[in-house]
Structure 1
């Protein structure tokens, strides 16, 4: 089960890296609910727990509005507030403090230009951010962390953007049309110039496609001829030696009279 979860997480991370240009170390934007969940379930150190979830190094962020909200909750969330103070602060540019979910939604914006992973236990916030094309979401369940798979909206957005890249835009189409017309016009001018030059007979000129070949070039054959393989002599080591037909008597030194 754990292996399947890690495989699913790696596939989701690869989707966002390839389609939206996420790069390591991944930046994770945490809200107060997620920090509280990490402390309550003893998922510390937080950076190690999240790097195990994403199988990559991470850097944790929060916002000043999230810190202000945790501080307002008083003693009940004092541990979460102290833990959140250790995280890096993402710039939110709010003069007045707003709610944590509104602040995170505004930091993400319409295109998540900072490439944040958003870690939250707020189901409504996750549902809202699923409609932003390039926002990966992380949440906790008991003592485990999960990376949500891309939503249908995110997959459809990637598919439509790929189809758009395959077709020319109106501006590109006009530029291509203008270029083809100019090229064809130049070609027509060259053809007309050639016809005018051939129309006036000049004995000193020869047709454009004629060439003066030397004798060697005339003898060159167009077709490539391949050498035929000739039969080679048999291997002398594999041939049997001829038997000698000598007279046995002559070999023994006796002469036969009859």
Structure 2
């Protein structure tokens, strides 16, 4: 059962990563009820439990000034929760006077949660309201662990509609398409065409007539031929003559 829950949680987180563009570090806005539930169940602080649950290396929890004001007004039962909230980084909201945490969180989320906030709350009414807003992942605490609300049908439908809009061509671009083609054709026609080059005039020149007759050229070529070297013939003839003279001079 625990493995199925982890698998569904990873699938829901991947949905918000891929479809809604959530990137690390994740930013989680916490209200007082969620923080009080963590302390009552002894699950640990937000900085320790949120990275493990979301499978992220860095998670930044935040509280607002309106949440701190509500915790201070709740009395002694929430004194420990108020002290734990002061240790968390405070995010500025645009309320000069403190309002209810649900109203404060809805104003931070806006119409489409452009800043990619995770909302951690125990209020059922606020969770149902935020499920109608696209791109809003909602966390809540149980007795033993955290839970992530699966994407609602409204959020899935809005994501599919956004994908279709991204794939389709807008109407103003379709109207401008014929004009664009005309401009492109005009640009191509206005470009200078390369001129066809003629024959090289130097290649068309006539050859010069030979002024010397053929016989003179043949004689000049024969005169340039190298003479063949006769190797060792004069030496052999000289040796034979010396041997003959020595034989004749030898007395019998």
The TM-score with structure 1 as length reference comes to 0.70
C-alpha contact (below 8 Å) 1:27/1:115 kept by paired residues: yes
Aligned to 1:243: none
Distance 1:6 1:24 in 2: 19
Aligned to 1:139: 140
- 1:21-60 map, 5 Å: 21-56=21-56, 57-60=58-61
Following TM superposition, by how much is the alpha carbon of 1:112 offset from its aligned partner in structure 2, in angstroms? 1.5
Structure 1 residues 73 and 186, CA gap change in structure 2 (3 angstroms): closer
The answer to whether 1:117 aligns with 2:131 is: no
Higher helix share: 2
> Highest CA radius of gyration, 1 or 2?
2
**Higher mean C-alpha displacement, 146-155 vs 167-176:** 167-176
**Higher mean C-alpha displacement, 47-56 vs 29-38:** 47-56
Following TM superposition, by how much is the alpha carbon of 1:66 offset from its aligned partner in structure 2, in angstroms? 0.4
Following TM superposition, by how much is the alpha carbon of 1:86 offset from its aligned partner in structure 2, in angstroms? 0.9
Following TM superposition, by how much is the alpha carbon of 1:24 offset from its aligned partner in structure 2, in angstroms? 1.1
C-alpha contact (below 8 Å) 2:66/2:104 kept by paired residues: yes
Distance 1:61 1:88 in 2: 5
RMSD, aligned α-carbons? 2.2
Following TM superposition, by how much is the alpha carbon of 1:91 offset from its aligned partner in structure 2, in angstroms? 1.4
Distance 1:13 1:24 in 2: 12
Following TM superposition, by how much is the alpha carbon of 1:175 offset from its aligned partner in structure 2, in angstroms? 2.6
Structure 1, unpaired ranges of 5+: 195-203, 206-258
C-alpha contact (below 8 Å) 1:53/1:147 kept by paired residues: no
Give the total of aligned pairs. Answer: 195
Aligned to 2:83: 82
C-alpha contact (below 8 Å) 2:39/2:45 kept by paired residues: no
The TM-score with structure 2 as length reference comes to 0.72
Runs of 4+ aligned structure 1 residues displaced above 6 Å come to: none
Structure 1 residues 66 and 180, CA gap change in structure 2 (3 angstroms): same
Distance 2:91 2:103 in 1: 14
Aligned to 2:5: 5
